[in-house]
Structure formats: structure tokens, C-alpha cells
Amino acid sequence: MRCEVCFRHCDLKEGQLGFCKARICREGKIVADNYGYITSIGLDPIEKKPLYEFHPGSYILSLGSYGCNLACPFCQNYEISQYRLKKEANYYSPEDIISQALYLKERYGNIGLAFTYNEALVGYEYVLDCAKLAHEHGLLNVLVTNGCASLEVLHKILPYIDAMNIDLKGFDEKYFSYIGSSLSMTKEFIKEAYQHCHVELTTLVVTLRNDDLSVFEEECKWIASLDDMIPLHLSRYFPRYKEKSPATPMKTLLGMEKIAKKYLKSVYLGNV
């Protein structure tokens, strides 16, 4: 069986896991092996997603499972994204999640659910089931994603997603090859998502990897060609996981901010 969730198109035999460690061939079908298994859950400020222009000042119940269809050497959450943690995770049904979200709404003003921490779309079926229930109960849904999922998957979830933060990790094929990703799929994902919900973008600036100013300027031009009102978050990198490049110099980040503001109305610096 072939998994059609992302660009990898993993061919799986019965019982075999995909690259993401979250999808499996079971009884002749590709399904989410991580369905309902939560490794991280907590009430976060919406700005932590980061979403700065979607209900600012609010709190949202954030949850993540395990697995990812990428293996970025600088992954900030590699402990849950790069390993199969089914035995270490706790199971929550969609009904369990909604019950918790409604309790937090009453007590702390929680506005809904944020699917984050790992790559949520490797288990999109759970996102879909939870998001449908959330809307039925008047809650909002936020998705934090690398944007490397098929348009078929995106179209399934879009009616139930109110806002996204999408990683635009860089803007040249050499860098995307380095992180084992797909620039073309990410661009198509962003273009389609932007038509249907609030979208903010994040670029983690990794020293000597994706900090070429001329390439970055092309990224900003492309975003502006969609809409110069799309917020862009420039996030400072610190050595993590396998990446040994030094932390992003503030001079680099400020230089990129200056370029971005030539084309975009909203530019934010993170991890500074």
C-alpha cells in the first residue's frame, strides 16, 4: 500500500511504519498509528504558536502526538517528532479533548484547540475528528504545520481549521534537499490554505544554512505576491538535535527583518 499523505509516498507492507513513524499499513489500509496518543498537552498563549494576529491575548489548549514526515537536523521538538512513542503517550479520545477544552474555556477563557508540537498532519484523521467536535461546541481550531501534506489531506481538514502557522523553512531547493523536504509542496499548501483561513508563516533562520539574503528576499517577494498582509515570523535558531551551526546572530536576524519589511506589512522576531 502507498501512503498519500505527503511527498514521500511510502510503500508499506502489512504492519510496516512509514518514514513519519506515525502511519502504518494495517489490514490492507494506511492508517494513523498515533491516533489519540498524546505526548504533550497544555494551555498556551496563542502567541506561542506563533499567531500574533489571530485572537491576540487569548489562550488555547495545545496538544501534540509523535512523529513527523521530516527529519530536520535542527528540530526543536525532536524528542517527540523523531521517535515512535506510542507506549509512552497517553490516549485521549476526541471527546476527552473536547471535554477538557470546554472546562478550560469556562475556567480560563480557552478559545479552542491547537494541533502542534509534532507534525499534526501525519495523523490528520485525529485532527479532523477533534476539529469537527470543536466546531460543534463553538471552539476554534488552530493548526501548526510544516505544510508538507497533500492538497487532498488539506482539503479534508480546511473546513474545520480557523488559523494556521505554516513553516516556510527557506526558499531554495538546495536547502529543502538538506532538510529532506519539498519546497513546491509547501508553496502549494500555503497558497491553498491562505484562500480559506487565517495564515501566518514562520522561517527559522539557521546560521549558514538558510540565511542568504538574496534568497530570503525572493521568499518575501513570493509571500507578498499572495498578500503583503500575511504575517511572517523570523525565529532565531539555537543549536539543537544534530545541527551544530552557531546560534543565529542578531545582526543577521535584524538584516532579514529589514528586507522583509520592504515587502510585508507584519514582520515579527522570535526567540530573541
List, as one string, the DSSP characters of 42-79: EEEEGGGTT-SSSSTT-EEEEEE-S--S---TT-TTHH
Instruction: Name the superfamily (CATH) of residues 23-270.
Output: Aldolase class I (3.20.20.70)
Tell me what pLDDT residue 100 has: 98
Tell me what pLDDT residue 76 has: 87
Q: What is the pLDDT along the chain (272 residues), one digit of tens a residue?
A: 999 999 999 999 999 999 999 999 999 999 999 999 999 999 999 999 999 999 999 999 999 999 999 999 999 899 999 999 999 999 999 999 999 999 999 999 999 999 999 999 999 999 999 999 999 999 999 999 999 999 999 999 999 999 999 999 999 989 999 999 999 999 999 999 999 999 999 999 999 999 999 999 999 999 999 999 999 999 999 998 999 999 999 999 999 999 999 999 999 999 99
Tell me what pLDDT residue 89 has: 96
Q: Tell me the C-alpha distance between 271 and 251, whole Å.
A: 14
Q: Tell me the C-alpha distance between 146 and 169, whole Å.
A: 8
What residues contact residue 35 under an 8 Å CB cut-off, 6+ apart?
123, 125, 126
Strands 29-32 and 23-26: antiparallel
**Residue 209: all three cell numbers together:** 544554512
Please return the burial class of 187, using the count of CB atoms within 10 Å of its CB with bins 0-12, 13-18 and 19+.
middle
Q: What is the residue extent of each domain of the chain?
A: 23-270
CA 252: distance to chain centroid? 24
**Residue 259: all three cell numbers together:** 528586507
- What is the chain's Cα-based Rg? 18
Cβ–Cβ under 8 Å, residues 253 and 234:
yes
Tell me what pLDDT residue 136 has: 98
Q: Residue 64: left (phi > 0), alpha (psi -120 to 50), or beta?
A: beta
* Angle at CA of residue 75, ends 71 and 77, nearest 5°: 110
Tell me what pLDDT residue 46 has: 98
Q: Could you tell me which of 142, 205, 132 has the C-alpha nearest to residue 175?
A: 205
